[in-house]
Amino acid sequence: MRVLLLNPPSERTVIRDYFCSKTTKSNYLYHPIDLVMLSGTVAERHDLTVLDALAEGLDFDAALRRIDEAGAEVVVSLVGAVSWNEDRAFLAAVHAAGLRVIALGDIFQEDAERRLAEEPWLEATLHGFADADLLSYLDGDLASIREMTVRDAAGDPLSLRRDDARRRGGSYRVPRPRHELFPETGYRFSFSKGRRFATVLTDYGCPYPCTFCIMGTLGFETRPVDDVLDELDHLRAGGTKEFFFLDQTFGLPRARGLKLCAALEERGDLSWTAFQRPDNTDDELLGAMRRAGCHTLILGVESPDAELLARYRKGYDTGEVAAGVARAKAHGFRVVGTFLIGLPEEDEHSWENTLRWALELDLDYLSLNVAVPRFGTPFRKRALELGLCREDELVMDQAGATAALPTQVLGRRDIERVKRRLVRRFYLRPRYLARRLRGTGSLRQLGSELREGLALLRRNV
């Protein structure tokens, strides 16, 4: 078949992938990992085209024209809660043009049958991208599907799920992702040291049970190290040496992580960014990552409140956070701290403590996420029970351009106001700005820093 993988257009810069849709906090747009991973699988059996309307800067009409020119029969599209109203209007137009539409995204992680019943343009939904479900569906082999929501012969929604579908474990394999099908320009990443970079995934899901995050509900599987290296070597041969590893915690399990780092160190020409947990940053792993070319760690700090860390099942305390950040800085990493604000228990005093904690940790970058009731998470169930959201509220943005929830004492507009103020207070410190300028290693990097900084401030005035 002629299949087109689609990242639809939007009036904003949005990240839809990996079941965590959001607007960009500054100006970054990395490759949609769901489509990257699916590209290898689909291209093995079908005539594949990729259209990333966001990276190419296409509007609604231009994207429709490109889809028509591609001559596809089936469109497999990302959607996101952050852009659901735009997405459903665009994909309805794609369907009206005579194409079959299959979609995947965070909004289908709960009540997918209901979404199918409400959206006549939607033929089926994928609930993962690290398996062969899409191929099985296109072949009409419903018995081999691990987890999808489809339509039966009468057109009614039908959930297909093996008993173990959400208990992924062990290893998985996908054919080498076809990075070459994605646009050469249009992607940008705040922490990249080169203009050209690739986004890579070496595992799937997450083994940790944080209740506000969808990742812990996906199970956890790893790709064989040799498969990852084959992908990286193919990219290196084409001139790409900078990478963003989108693993939720890089280097799991430990022996596999050290093996991968040793192989990356042997290549000697890689530069990369990765996510980590503060309690996973021991000296052996940090040293291996640094020697392998990692320069920036994104650490989940989340909150200075030990009770909140425990309630939301982070699995570490503030002492482990401080020690993990200190070790990372001692090994020479740039450290990004991610924080979660807007939890039901919080007030403005909580957020003052958040800023104080970020300053005490001496972070290189601050990333503030706003609590959202993600579909399929325990946190969503609790937010509904507390009356902080309604089931029919489908649009939400983790980046906090708009707040999805009030707390128990503050309204949504209060959260938006405080979030913008915290960002300004962190980034507009004269000593901090001077340090950032001194840390730029080239005119290209200086220009990138200035563009990112201006974009960040425009979103937080």
Q: Please list the pLDDT of the chain residue by residue as tens digits (461 residues).
A: 999 999 999 999 999 999 999 999 988 999 999 999 999 999 999 999 999 999 999 999 999 999 999 999 999 999 999 999 999 999 999 999 999 999 999 999 999 999 999 999 999 999 999 999 999 999 999 999 999 999 999 999 999 987 665 666 789 999 999 999 999 999 999 899 888 999 999 999 999 999 999 999 999 999 999 999 999 999 999 999 999 999 999 999 999 999 999 999 999 999 999 999 999 999 999 999 999 999 999 999 999 999 999 999 999 999 999 999 999 999 999 999 999 999 999 999 999 999 999 999 999 999 999 999 999 999 999 999 999 999 999 999 999 889 999 999 999 999 999 999 999 999 999 999 988 888 777 777 777 778 878 888 888 88
Number of neighbouring beta carbons within 10 Å of residue 371: 24
CA distance to 181, 266, 282, per residue, from 258 (Å):
31, 12, 12
Angstrom distance (rounded) from CA 118 to CA 127: 18
Q: Which two tokens stand for residue 389?
A: 């959201």
Angstrom distance (rounded) from CA 313 to CA 310: 5
Domains in the chain, please, with CATH?
Answer: 2-161 (3.40.50.280), 189-427 (3.20.20.70)
pLDDT value for 190: 87
What is the dihedral angle through the alpha carbons of 203, 207, 208, 210, rounded to the nearest 10 degrees? 80
Among 39, 391, 45, 74, CA closest to 200:
39
3-state secondary structure of 187: coil
Q: Which stretches does DSSP call E strand in 250-378?
A: 271-276, 294-302, 334-341, 365-370
The DSSP H or E segment spanning 48 is strand 47-52
pLDDT value for 167: 63
CA angle 240, 191, 277 (to 5 degrees): 105
pLDDT value for 163: 67
pLDDT value for 439: 78
3-state secondary structure of 15: strand
Kindly tell me the burial class for residue 333, based on how many C-beta atoms sit within 10 Å of its own C-beta (0-12, 13-18, 19 or more). Answer: buried
pLDDT value for 144: 95
Cβ 294 vs Cβ 274: under 8 Å: yes
Angstrom distance (rounded) from CA 417 to CA 403: 10
Query: Would the CA dihedral through 97, 130, 229, 24 be positive or negative?
Result: positive
Cβ 342 vs Cβ 388: under 8 Å: no
What is the dihedral angle through the alpha carbons of 163, 164, 166, 167, rounded to the nearest 10 degrees? 150
Strands 47-52 and 2-7: parallel
Angstrom distance (rounded) from CA 268 to CA 257: 17
Q: Within 13 Å and on the Cβ side, how many CA atoms surround 54?
A: 28
Cβ 403 vs Cβ 393: under 8 Å: no
Angstrom distance (rounded) from CA 75 to CA 77: 6
pLDDT value for 166: 60
pLDDT value for 384: 96
CA distance to 46, 253, 400, 404, per residue, from 188 (Å):
29, 29, 20, 27
Query: pTM of the full predicted structure?
Result: 0.95
